[in-house]
Amino acid sequence: MRGQSGGRLGAVAGRYGMLAVGVVAFVALVAFVPSIRSTRTEYVQGGGLAVNGFVPYKTPGQQTAGTTVGGYSCGPGKRQVPWSQYAAACMPAWHGENGGPTSPGVTATTITVTADFAMNGGYCPILKSLEGQDVVGQSLFTKVMQTYVKFLNKEFDLYGRHVVLKVFTGKACFANELMGQNQAEATSDAEEAASLGAFADASMLYSSPPYDTALAQKKIIAMGGQFEPDSWYKQFQPYEYSTIGTCSQFFQAAVSIISRSMAGMPAIFAGSPSLEAKKRTFGLIYPSIPEFHTCATAAIAALAKAGIPLAAQYGYSIASLAALPTEASSIMADFSKLGITTVICGCDPLTPMFLVQSAASQNYYPEWIPLTLSNGTTRSIMSGTQGQAEWAHALTLYVQEVPASEMEYAVAWRFATGHTLKSQIDTIQAEGIYPDLLLLFSALQQAGPDLTPKTFERGFWSLMNSNPDGTMGPWAYGPGVFVSPSGNQISWWDEKARGPVTGQAGAWIACNHGQMYSYSNSFAGLPDHSQLDCFGRGGSDQPWVPPPSALPKSE
């Protein structure tokens, strides 16, 4: 394995023992190690156990020892880069014919990947003012993207090819597209990606259902979906993938949490004594755009089947930003009048900011369950006194973060640059960009040399599941899977804890002593009719704190 130097790893030098001077000598040595030679046929016919008729691809490295293109030792059970808990299975450096231009956007030497910086007009000016630490200029977005792409090109084996990233300026604001608007602009941007020769698009932070749909219609792989339902991914296969869970997963998990650990019990996490003493009543808020409507109606039906009717449900339509505060005020007035103790918010990124302000102005402090949550939304809410008072009663589906220096995106950045992430803005960008790029490169490697959208899909399905202690939560794969997350923690907002990424007051702390729950079995580990252990109530009065992440040791 290649030496992991203190100079490249900065703050985690103590975890990686080899000195930088050893790297040059060792890399020179492995250059003389014979590489495993494979042909396209040998690769595609790699073995594996059939599961429901699906036989996973196996790279040569899953069956043969050797050395990767990045200089790491490789063998069964190892990953392409040993500092990752999520990367594809390793493979010895590969040589052979790759088939040349196997698909649009693919040549014998390149794979074109585009990224749409969709921050033009619409709601984006207010996003810049509300979420200035998340929404930054195109130059920084491009710098972080190119840094990771350059690094991953060296570490992953793409069979004689490398990823060429092309960032362009979109015609619309991604936030408008998230709310079901600007389909024409999204289509135009997808046409731009096609004109640039894209095999795949990795807009990630600035993707949206309209844009991703238009990419699929252009037969371009889209990395970075934003909470679309399971049915949406199946409708557009093999072109849609994400490191963000589906709204189907989030709403189904909410149904399990409500029916097993909240319904029929007092609303002990509410902020008003009158609500705390009441048996819970639930209200649901969601945007009435097709993707969210599909998930919301399924959740409503599931709750009704479990004998938990909603006291109110509100599918809002956002025609203009100016109308949003008025609509939010009306919703909260209705919920307060009905005495709803627990607000389930499967909302877009902007609406929660107005909802919590309206609730606080009306002296209404219910329990909050925001589902499709963004870090930017939370930071914006916490910037105001009213938002802090409301958010002190919020719980959600969120993996509790470890210190930023131990997150995999930060470790990768130190390997790539020899430096730590210095600013909070850089950290937030890296946090949003790295997971999808890692997943993209992993699936490209697992797809094999005969690269097409169909082999990419099969490669995605064949990826190794994440390590149990992965800092981004569990990822799992298999036939019919299009998003990597396979489970989550239930977390509560501790306004006094210091956020490990931002360094500011406020952090999500895992409930139930850090228990991780699986989407596939509907959070089966939740005890029936037992209050969640959150906010230091319902069980232990000590919030759970995870141990330091277990990063791989150097060999």
Q: Is-contact 527 493, C-beta < 8 A?
A: no
pLDDT score, position 127: 65
pLDDT score, position 555: 33
pLDDT score, position 243: 93
Q: Is-contact 353 380, C-beta < 8 A?
A: yes
Q: pTM (2 decimals)?
A: 0.85
pLDDT score, position 320: 64
Does 500 have pLDDT greater than 70?
yes
Give the integer Cα–Cα distance in Å for 189 and 116.
7
**Mean pLDDT within 43-66:** 57
Give the integer Cα–Cα distance in Å for 248 and 291.
10
pLDDT tens by residue, 154-199? 999 999 999 999 999 988 888 777 777 778 888 999 999 999 999 9
Burial classification of residue 361, based on how many CB atoms lie within 10 Å of its CB (0-12 exposed, 13-18 middle, 19 or more buried) = exposed
Give, in order, the Cα–Cα distances in Å from 131 to each of 119, 318, 390, 499, 543. Answer: 13, 19, 19, 16, 28
Q: Which residue has the higher pLDDT, 266 or 387?
A: 266
Domain assignments of the chain as residue spans, ordered by start: 95-244, 248-398+489-518
Does 61 have pLDDT greater than 90?
no
Give the integer Cα–Cα distance in Å for 170 and 120.
7
**40 — phi, psi (to 5°)?**
-60, -40
**Cβ atoms within 10 A of the Cβ of 494, count?**
18
Kindly indicate the confidence band of residue 402, based on its pLDDT and cuts at 50, 70 and 90.
Answer: confident
CATH dotted code for 95-244? 3.40.50
Give, in order, the Cα–Cα distances in Å from 304 to each of 293, 324, 527. Answer: 16, 29, 20
The alpha carbons of the chain give a radius of gyration, in whole angstroms, of 24
Give me the residue label for tokens 């052979």. Answer: 96
Does 487 have pLDDT greater than 90?
yes
Kindly indicate the confidence band of residue 22, based on its pLDDT and cuts at 50, 70 and 90.
Answer: very low
Give me the residue label for tokens 């130097």. Answer: 5
Does 51 have pLDDT greater than 70?
no
Give the integer Cα–Cα distance in Å for 179 and 174.
9
pLDDT score, position 406: 83
* Among 142, 133, 216, residue whose Cα is nearest residue 427: 133
Q: Is 285 helix (H, G, I), strand (E, B) or coil?
A: strand
pLDDT score, position 16: 25
C-alpha 23 chain-centroid distance: 33
pLDDT tens by residue, 111-140? 999 999 877 777 776 666 654 444 567 888
pLDDT score, position 24: 28
Domains 95-244 and 248-398+489-518 equal at CATH topology level: yes
Kindly indicate the confidence band of residue 221, based on its pLDDT and cuts at 50, 70 and 90.
Answer: very high
pLDDT score, position 373: 65
**Mean pLDDT within 464-490:** 92
Give the integer Cα–Cα distance in Å for 352 and 72.
46
For the chain, percent of residues with pLDDT exceeding 90? 53
pLDDT tens by residue, 519-550? 999 999 898 889 999 988 765 444 445 444 43
- Assigned token pair, 172: 């619309």
| Average pLDDT over all residues of the chain | 81
Does 339 have pLDDT greater than 80?
yes
pLDDT score, position 5: 29
| Tally of CA atoms within 13 A in the half-sphere of 451 that contains its CB | 33
Kindly indicate the confidence band of residue 1, based on its pLDDT and cuts at 50, 70 and 90.
Answer: very low
pLDDT score, position 476: 95
pLDDT tens by residue, 345-394? 988 777 888 899 999 999 999 999 998 766 555 666 666 667 788 989 99
Give the integer Cα–Cα distance in Å for 306 and 312.
17
**Mean pLDDT within 408-423:** 91
Q: Which residue has the higher pLDDT, 153 or 30?
A: 153
pLDDT score, position 403: 80
Give, in order, the Cα–Cα distances in Å from 210 to each of 173, 239, 371. Answer: 12, 14, 21
Give, to the nearest 10 degrees, the angle between helix 183-195 and helix 209-217.
Answer: 50
Size (the chain), residues:
555
Does 214 have pLDDT greater than 90?
yes
Does 458 have pLDDT greater than 50?
yes
Q: Which residue has the higher pLDDT, 216 or 65?
A: 216
Quickly name the fold that domain 248-398+489-518 has: Rossmann fold (3.40.50)
Does 422 have pLDDT greater than 70?
yes
**Type of residue found at 256:** S
For the chain, percent of residues with pLDDT exceeding 70? 80
Kindly indicate the confidence band of residue 18, based on its pLDDT and cuts at 50, 70 and 90.
Answer: very low
Q: Is-contact 75 171, C-beta < 8 A?
A: no
Contacts of 176 (CB under 8 A, 6+ apart): 122, 123, 124, 182
* Among 222, 184, 181, 178, residue whose Cα is nearest residue 204: 222
**Residue 386 belongs to what H/E stretch?**
helix 385-391
- Assigned token pair, 266: 């007092």
Q: Is-contact 347 285, C-beta < 8 A?
A: yes
